[in-house]
Amino acid sequence: MMEPIRIALFASGQGSNFMAIHGRLSSMDDPPARIVLCVSNNPAPGAFEYARDHGIETLRLSPKMFETEEEYGRAGLAMLATRGIDMIVLAGFMRKLPEAVVDACTGRILNIHPALLPKFGGRGMYGHHVHEAVLAAGEGESGVTVHLVDREYDTGPTIAQARVPVLPDDTPETLAARVLALEHRLYPDVVIEQARKLLAERMLPPGGAICQ
Ligand code: GRF
The domain segmentation of the chain, as residue ranges, is 5-200
Report the C-alpha gap between 135 and 104 in whole angstroms: 38
Please name the CATH architecture into which domain 5-200 falls: 3-Layer(aba) Sandwich (3.40)
> Hey, which residues are catalytic here?
113
- pLDDT above 90: residue 210: no
Residue nearest to atom 1 of ligand 1 (CA): 92
Omega before residue 43 within 30° of 0, cis: no
| 37-41, 103-107, 116-120, 202-206: segment of lowest average pLDDT | 202-206
**158 CB-near residues (< 8 Å, 6+ apart):** 117, 145, 146, 147
Distance 90 CA to ligand 1 centre (A): 9
Furthest-apart CA atoms within the chain: distance in Å: 55
Cβ contact 148:156 at 8 Å: yes
Distance 211 CA to ligand 1 centre (A): 24
Give the model confidence (pLDDT) of 160-192 as tens digits. 999 999 999 999 999 999 999 999 999 999 999
Give the model confidence (pLDDT) of 26-77 as tens digits. 999 999 999 999 999 998 779 999 999 999 999 999 999 999 999 999 999 9
- pLDDT above 60: residue 208: no
Share of the chain above pLDDT 70, in %: 94
Report the C-alpha gap between 48 and 148 in whole angstroms: 24
Residue 204 binned pLDDT confidence (cut-offs 50, 70, 90): low
